[in-house]
Amino acid sequence: MVRKGEDRLFQTVTMLILALVGLVSVVPLLYVFSVSLTPFAEVLRHGGYVLIPKEITFHAYKKLFESSGIPRALGVTVYITVVGTMINLLLTTLVAYPLSRKKLPGRNIFLMMVVLTILFSGGIIPTYLIVKATGLIDSLWALILPGAVNSFNVLIIKSFFEQLPEELFESARIDGAREFRILFTLVIPLSVPAMITVGLFYAVGHWNSFFSAIMYMTDRSLYPLQVVVREILMLSQQQVENVEEQVPTVTMQMAAVIFASLPILVVYPFLQKHFTKGMLLGSIKG
C-alpha cells in the first residue's frame, strides 16, 4: 500500500518535470513556426515576436519556393541522407563488431586508430587534396565517402555490442555459425535501439551538412538544402553590400528553418517505438 502511494507521487513528479521540459522546448519552436506563418508587417508590429499568429499567410513559403532551387536541393539532401546513412551503418557495424570482441589480437591498435581520429585531423587542405585525388570533386560522393565512418559512432555501437551477454555468441559458435552470420542475424537484430540511435546521428549529420558541399562543389545544382538555407540566414545577418540584394525577411528565414528541418523532425516519432524493444533480449535469453 505504501509502495503504491509512493509510486503515484513519483509518477506525478515525473510528469510535471517532463511537462516543464516539453514546455521549455516548445515555446521557441512555436515562435519559429508562428513567425513563418504571420505576415511580416504583423511580425514587426509585435516587436519581431509572435507566438500565436492571428492572421495566417503562406507568403513566406511561397517566396521560398520561388527562389533558389529549393526542390532540387531537397532532392540532393534526401539522396545523400538515405544513401549515406546506409553506407555509414554498414561500415560502422563492420568496424564496431570486431572491436567489441575483447580477445581480438591487435584490438587496441585498431581502437587507438579509431580514437585518434576523434582528436586529430589533418585539416581542410590535405582533406581536400585527398578528396580530389580520389576523384570526388563535384560529385555527390564527396558528401558521403569522406565521412563514411564516424569514430564516435563506432565507439557507441561497440559499447552496445559489448553489453550483449557472452553466452549468446558462444552458443551460436557451437552451432557452427560464421561471424558474418552472427553479426547480421544475431547481434544487429538484438541491438536495434543502438542501430536506430546511430543511424539517426548519421542521418541528421547528413541532413545538416553544408560545409563539405561548399568546399567540394563548384556546381550549384549539387548543393544540398542546408547550403540554400544557410544562404538565406547569412544574407539576413550581413549588411547589404549590393544594392540589388534582396534581404530575406525574418518570416522567410523562419519558413526556411521550418522547411529544412520538418522532414527530419517527423522521422523521430516513428523511430521512438524501437527504443522500447528491450524485451527482445529477454525473450531470447529465456
Partner 1 sequence: MNRSKWVPLSLTAALVTGSLLAGCSSGSGSTSGGDAAAKPGESASASPSAAPSAPVKIQMAMAASGLPSPENDDIKKTIDKKLNTDLQLTAIASGEDYKNQIRVRISGGNFPDLFSVELADVKEFSDKGLLLDLTPYIDKDLKTAKDFVLSEQKEIIKKATINNKLYAIPRIGDVPFSTMWIRQDWLDKLNLKMPTTLDEMMAVAKAFTEQDPDGNGKKDTYGLTGAKIGAFASVFGGFGAGGPGTFYEKDGKVMNGYYDPAMPDALKFIKSMIDAGVVDPEIMTNKANIEVQKAFQGKAGMIFRGWTDMAKDEFVAQYKAINPNANWVQISPPLKGPGGAYDGAYDYDRPSRYWVIPKALEKDKAKLQKVFDLINYVSSAEGNRLVMYGLEGKHYNLKDGKVIPTDLMAKEGNYFNLYQITGRPNKEYLEIKFPNQAAATDVAIKAPRIKAFDSSVLPPTGYNKADADRFAEEELIKFVTGKRPLSEYPDFLKTFETTFQYKTFVEAGEKQIRDQGFVK
Partner 2 sequence: MSSNSWSAEPAVQPGAGIKKKQTFWKTIWSHKEFYLMLLPGVIYYIIYKYAPMYGMVIAFKDYDMSEGILGSPWADPWFKYFQQFYESPYFSQLLTNTILISVYKLAFGMLPPILLAILLNECRVRWFKSLVQTLSYMPHFLSWIIIYGILLMFFSQDSGIINRWIIDAGGKAIPFLSSTEWFRTMLVGSEIWQNLGWGAIIYLAAIAGIDPTLYEAARVDGASRMQMIWHITLPGIRSVIILLLILRLGHMMDAGFEQIYVLYNVYVYPVADILDTWVFRTGLEQWNYSLASAVGLFKSLIGLVLVLLSNAMAKRWGDSGIW
Return the residues of window 206-235 that contact partner 1 according to CB under 8 A. 211, 214-215, 218-221, 230-231, 234-235
Cβ neighbours of residue 104 closer than 8 Å, sequence gap 6 or more: 98, 110
Residue of 83, 86, 111, 137 interacting with partner 2 (CB under 8 A)? 111
Q: In whole angstroms, what is the distance from residue 48 CA to residue 104 CA?
A: 60
- Report 150-209 residues binding partner 1 (CB under 8 A): none
Q: Which is nearer to partner 2, 76 or 154 (CB)?
A: 154
Q: In whole angstroms, what is the distance from residue 74 CA to residue 226 CA?
A: 9
135 binds, options partner 2, partner 1, none, Cβ within 5 to 8 A by partner type = partner 1
CA angle 251, 256, 260 (to 5 degrees): 150
Cβ 71 to partner 1, closest distance in Å? 11
Handedness of CA 215, 210, 192, 152 (dihedral sign): positive
C-alpha grid cell for residue 198?
546511430
Q: Which stretch binds partner 2 (CB under 8 A): 18-26, 168-176, 216-224, 240-248?
A: 18-26
Using rule CB under 8 A, residue 246 touches partner 2: no
Residues of the chain by 3-state class (helix, strand, coil), percent to 5:
75, 0, 25
Using rule CB under 8 A, residue 56 touches partner 2: no
- Report 40-99 residues binding partner 1 (CB under 8 A): 40-41, 44-45, 47-48, 67-69, 72
Cβ 230 to partner 1, closest distance in Å? 7
Q: In whole angstroms, what is the distance from residue 240 CA to residue 221 CA?
A: 25
Using rule CB under 8 A, residue 67 touches partner 2: no
Using rule CB under 8 A, residue 133 touches partner 1: yes
Residue of 239, 272, 276, 283 interacting with partner 1 (CB under 8 A)? 239
C-alpha grid cell for residue 2?
505504501
Q: In whole angstroms, what is the distance from residue 86 CA to residue 113 CA?
A: 23
245 binds, options partner 1, partner 2, none, Cβ within 5 to 8 A by partner type = partner 1
Using rule CB under 8 A, residue 189 touches partner 2: no
C-alpha grid cell for residue 207?
541532413
Within 10 A of 124 (CB to CB), how many other CB atoms are there?
A: 11
Using rule CB under 8 A, residue 272 touches partner 1: no
Cβ burial of 60 (10 Å; 0-12, 13-18, 19+) is buried
Using rule CB under 8 A, residue 112 touches partner 1: yes
Binding residues vs partner 1 (CB under 8 A): 40-41, 44-45, 47-48, 67-69, 72, 108-109, 112-113, 116, 124-126, 128-130, 132-133, 135, 137-139, 211, 214-215, 218-221, 230-231, 234-240, 242-247, 250
